[in-house]
Amino acid sequence: MVVAVLRAIFFFALMLAAGSDARAISISYSFDSGAQDWALTGGTLTHQTSGGNPGGYLELKDTQSGSLFLAHAFSDLSGYNSGTLSFDARLVGNNGEANLSSFGQVTLLAGATSATLDFASNPSNANWTNYTAPLTAGAWGLSELNFLSLLTNVTEIRIALDAKNRLGDVTGFDNFTLAYDGETGNVPEPSTLALLLTALAGTLCCRYGRRGTQRNLAPSPDYS
């Protein structure tokens, strides 16, 4: 009975370790080989093969009035709850106009539901700048339940990247990344938990196995 339970723990740990692989992979777009299915609305999108942070990057030129934003389709990002969303941006071409406060606003869309968080207060930096914000209910102004529902049912992420008023400004975009909570060290990773369970099961198996061996090796009564 005990051995059966230990075997169950051992195989559960193995399954947990195997299942943790998918969650352990962060989502990252380096744009070294192309636009990677990101689409631009409100301007001209050009893939640059060098000059990024590092390697290739996306260059966005504001050529139309109205909002300018990059978008990419996503599905079920619940595994990234309490993780982070980040990207790099820089002002490539400055038209001399005033900054737009909407620059850096990231919107999570799930059908008709959405939430928006402003990642960047300064769009005028000519150097590559990293913008990072937590994927937490508090940061996005939602209840835990509504935020988890939004992440679970997400269909698209949009990033407003119009840096300057009027047309002609050019923005660089690189290294969009979704990192899960385990990468920030806030909670034990499933793989760590699996290793602990495996070690525990192994230790207990050895202990019970040794007891069984000791019982088997006990001298037989001498009836002579």
Q: How many CB atoms lie within 10 A of CB 21?
A: 10
Q: Report in angstroms the alpha-carbon separations of 116 from 84, 93, 103.
A: 14, 26, 12
- Residue closer to Ca ion (CB basis): 34 or 66: 34
Interface residue with Ca ion among 174, 178, 180, 198 (CB under 5 A) is 174
- Residue closer to Ca ion (CB basis): 32 or 189: 32
Interface residue with Ca ion among 52, 79, 172, 182 (CB under 5 A) is 52
Interface residue with Ca ion among 9, 14, 23, 55 (CB under 5 A) is 55
- Residue closer to Ca ion (CB basis): 57 or 147: 57
Of 34, 29, 59, 56, the C-alpha closest to 163 is: 59
**DSSP state letters, 201-214:** HHHHHHHHHHHHHH
- Residue closer to Ca ion (CB basis): 49 or 121: 49
Segment contacting Ca ion (CB under 5 A): 26-34, 40-48, 119-127, 187-195?
26-34
Angle between helices 2-23 and 190-217 (to 10 degrees): 160
Q: Which of residues 105-164 bind Ca ion (CB under 5 A)?
A: none
- Residue closer to Ca ion (CB basis): 62 or 174: 174
Q: Is 30 in the site for Ca ion (CB under 5 A)?
A: yes
Report the alpha-carbon distance of residue 113 to residue 62 in Å, rounded.
Answer: 27
Q: Is residue 135 within 8 Å of 82, Cβ to Cβ?
A: yes
Contacts to Ca ion by CB under 5 A: 30-31, 52, 55-57, 174
